[in-house]
Amino acid sequence: MTSSDPLFATAEKILLAPHLIETRQIEQVFNSMLTHRLDYADLYFQYSRTESWSLEEGIVKSGSFNIDQGVGVRAVSGEKTAFAYSDDISLTALQGAAKATRAIANAGGEQRVPLLHPGSRRDLYLPEDPIASLNDAKKVAMLERLESYARSLDRRVVQVIAGLAGEYEAVLVARSDGLMNADIRPLVRLSLTVIIESNGRREQGSAGGGGRFDYGYFDDAMLKRYAEQAVHQAVVNLDAKPAPAGNMTVVLGNGWPGILLHEAIGHGLEGDFNRKGSSAFSGRVGERVASDGVTVVDDGTLLKRRGSMQMDDEGNSTQCTTLIENGILRGYLQDSLNARLMGVPITGNARRESYAHIPLPRMTNTYMLNGDKDPAEIIASVKHGLYAVNFAGGQVDITSGKFVFTTAEAYMIEDGKVTHPVKGATLIGNGPDVLTRISMIGNDMALDPGVGTCGKEGQSVPVGVGQPTVRIDGLTVGGTV
């Protein structure tokens, strides 16, 4: 197959040409698989080059560089999936993997794959190579400047840990329905942690960001912003009092606090959990699951965002999927397997960590849309409550929706005003229940800075989250007093 698409040509040059694999040979592999009755089959070629740098105590403590490549071969029959992979991209390896996957199907299919043809793809980021965008000396100098900025902001800073990571990935998907699609995916991330000490007490703060672009994004203005955010968070925690416990009104800040939405609600809206009936949202499409005004979308089409993709890992274009609209559940996130078995459209949410993993329905950038309240009005409406500005992490049970989240930066609200910072606050609740307790939604929706990584069934993929400021009534807060 020839294509005028320069991105597709680059993927072919990286993934197929060095191994003397031609399109007609891929068609032959599919035809050998389709001598058995299969509903679907695909080949997933991947090449990735990654690096990471870590600076601590003013020196580079670690650095790594890795090149990985391979191909995954998948066959689907009914609910059964057969999967084989190889780090050897060759015709022999493809034929061997294809033969192994035929075991799940009965003989006698006698199907033939249509001639492979290019699929559609969105243009959301440039096919840049972040690793080549800056030489090694300048990468180290960037981390050194970041440390210097952080230390200059407060003499109590005793430790700075800075990390830089980049990835250049080429992906090519060929499918038994004849579609063949490709993508070149850049990804960068910069992280910063500072530790402040005063009177024998130590506290830390973190910041960072990234997305699908090269290292040029991290200019001095951005480095200074990260340093200010991390030091500010550490200083706030240094001055914080123990958090009270009890049932109270909680106001979540905009941006990164959307991670609670992602974990406590988003996973429960993925197609596989709902097809199997193991989600708290199973069978509830068309029902009210949240307060009026709550609209949640998953959007893989945002420009240069960490969770965005020009195509998903089955070669389908990503899209913006409305999950909850004004409180009503509208649908789930789907890959091809679960969409076919549930009789619904594919949403472009098939994702896999690498060629050595099967695709699963996963989130991309998941966020709540704006409401009509000024954030100051939301704060002023609270007599006594907690203002959670940032989160450190949490856990959730997909089946029940129960969650526990720890705040990284939080304050008390007293008589409609933000007062003193508190530490040790945890939010405890149930995702579906929390959706019904949202009473006010701000008009300040923001996305996270580009730091999210989502885990599911042992696979990690980059994601984005976001939300406006929201008020939640009657949430359990676990504190230290």
Residues pairing with 250 in the sheet: 386, 472
The DSSP 8-state label assigned to residue 441 in this structure reads E
Pairwise CA distance, residues 54 & 62, whole Å: 5
Q: What percent of the chain has pLDDT over 90?
A: 86
pLDDT category at 108 given cuts 50, 70, 90 is: low
Helix axes 220-238, 136-153, angle to 10 degrees: 40
Residue 113 is classified by DSSP as: P
Phi-psi group of 55: left, alpha or beta (phi > 0 → left; psi -120 to 50 → alpha; rest → beta)? beta
- Please, are residues 300 and 310 in contact by the beta-carbon 8 Å criterion? no
Lowest mean pLDDT, pick from 156-165, 206-215, 256-265 = 256-265
Contact yes or no for 134/215 (Cβ under 8 A): yes
Strands 80-86 and 117-118: unpaired
Residues 386-397 pLDDT 10s: 999 999 877 888
- Residue 262 pLDDT greater than 80, yes or no: yes
Any residues with CB less than 8 A from the CB of 81 and at least 6 apart, and which? 74, 75, 104, 337, 358
Please count the other Cβ atoms lying within 10 Å of the Cβ belonging to residue 165: 18
The whole-chain average pLDDT of the chain stands at 94
Burial pattern 24-50, b for ≥16 Cβ within 10 A else e, equals: eebbbbbeebbebbbbbbbbbbbbbbb
- For residue 297, what are the CA distances in angstroms to 180, 319, 337, 466? 28, 10, 21, 10
Span 262-275, average pLDDT: 93
pTM score of the predicted model: 0.95
- Stretch 256-263: mean pLDDT: 91
| pLDDT per position as a tens digit, 321-377 | 999 999 999 999 999 999 999 999 999 999 999 999 999 999 999 999 999 999 999
- Mean pLDDT of all residues in 99-128: 79
Confirm if 454 and 262 have CB atoms less than 8 A apart: yes
The pLDDT value given to residue 398: 75
Between CA 355 and CA 363, with CA 361 as vertex, the angle to 5 degrees is: 105
| Cα–Cα distance measured from residue 198 to residue 155, given in angstroms and rounded to the nearest whole number | 10
Span 428-456, pLDDT tens digits: 999 999 999 999 999 999 999 999 999 99
Taken in order 451, 455, 460, 462, the sign of the CA dihedral is negative
Task: State the Cα–Cα distance between residues 481 and 296, nearest whole angstrom.
Answer: 35
* pLDDT classification of 35: cutoffs 50, 70, 90: confident
Nearest to 104 by CA among 337, 275, 333: 337
Q: Tokens 């890959």 sit at which residue?
A: 335
Comparing 40 with 102, which gets the higher pLDDT?
A: 40
Half-sphere exposure of 379 (CA within 13 A, CB side): 16
- Which two tokens mark 10? 């680059």
- Are residues 63 and 54 in contact, defined by beta-carbon separation less than 8 angstroms? yes
Across residues 279-298, what is the average pLDDT?
A: 96
Mean pLDDT within 257-273: 92
Q: How many CB atoms lie within 10 A of CB 131?
A: 20
Mean pLDDT within 270-281: 94
Residues 144, 308: Cα–Cα separation, whole Å: 30
Band (121; pLDDT cuts 50, 70, 90):
confident
Q: What is the reported pLDDT for 1? A: 55
Cα–Cα distance measured from residue 62 to residue 416, given in angstroms and rounded to the nearest whole number = 47
* pLDDT tens-digit map of 217-254: 999 999 999 999 999 999 999 999 999 999 999 999 99
Task: Say what the pLDDT of residue 25 is.
Answer: 94
Is the pLDDT score of 282 beyond 70? yes
- Provide the pLDDT for residue 241: 95
Residues 6+ apart with CB under 8 A from 196: 154, 156, 157, 158, 202, 203, 204, 205, 231, 234, 235, 238
- Residue 204 phi/psi, 5-degree rounding, is -130, 160
pLDDT value at residue 122:
84
Query: 166: exposed, middle or buried (C-beta count within 10 Å: 0-12, 13-18, 19+)?
Result: buried
**Over the stretch 39-57, which tens digit does the pLDDT of each residue have?**
999 999 999 999 999 999 8
Q: Quickly count: other Cβ atoms within 10 Å of residue 108's Cβ.
A: 8
Burial class for 222, CB neighbours closer than 10 Å (0-12, 13-18, 19+): middle
Q: What is the predicted pLDDT for the residue at 106?
A: 67
pLDDT digits (tens, 9 = 90+) for 149-204: 999 999 999 999 999 999 999 999 999 999 999 999 999 999 999 999 999 999 99
Q: What are phi and psi of 302, to 5 degrees?
A: -70, 135
Strand partners, 67: 49
